[in-house]
Amino acid sequence: MNRRRQKKSGMARRGLRSLSLAVALPLSLSLIDIFYFGSSSRYRTLPKPFYFPPLWALHLACLATAFFSGLSAWLVWAEGGFHRQPTALMLYLGQLVLGLGWYPIVFGAGATRVGLVICGALFGVLVGCVRMFRNMNPIAGDLVKPCLAWAVLLALVNVRLVSSH
């Protein structure tokens, strides 16, 4: 009986460790991204409609998206989904790279038109994530849906930046 309890405790610890890593890694990368490329004087001074988020809200949405995508990826991984469907891992990594690439390209380099292309690709990859993740774990698929809203928000911000150029 005691041996069985130790085995369950060890599995729970490993699961908690892997969950922490799955969430902390994208959050950390997003924080680094925001720290180095997130202060855009051009965005702050841009005349924006009332429904446009302030820069801090854009950053907060980025962090929330990193959290949701990390959690959804962990749920898929815990179900063995990345081993059964390696395409799901590629889609997850693609959305992570595209999401992290937007800040340095748009705010760092000022390449707003390239940013629009990234937003379109990000949206497409996220749609693929929702579909594949939902097949493996319905909750994981639902957790990616706020990320889709974030991609649309980035695209709207990006369109405004292009039109002000």
pLDDT at 9 over 60: no
Residue-level pLDDT at 85: 92
Residue-level pLDDT at 41: 75
Structural domain for 11, as ranges: 2-163
Torsion of CA 8, 12, 13, 19, to 10 degrees: 160
Q: What percent of the chain has pLDDT over 70?
A: 92
Residue-level pLDDT at 144: 97
CATH code, domain with 59: 1.20.1260
pLDDT at 12 over 80: no
Split at pLDDT 50, 70, 90, the class of 137 is very high
Residue-level pLDDT at 33: 95
Q: What is the mean pLDDT of residues 64-81?
A: 95
Number of domains in the chain: 1
pTM of the model: 0.88
pLDDT at 25 over 60: yes
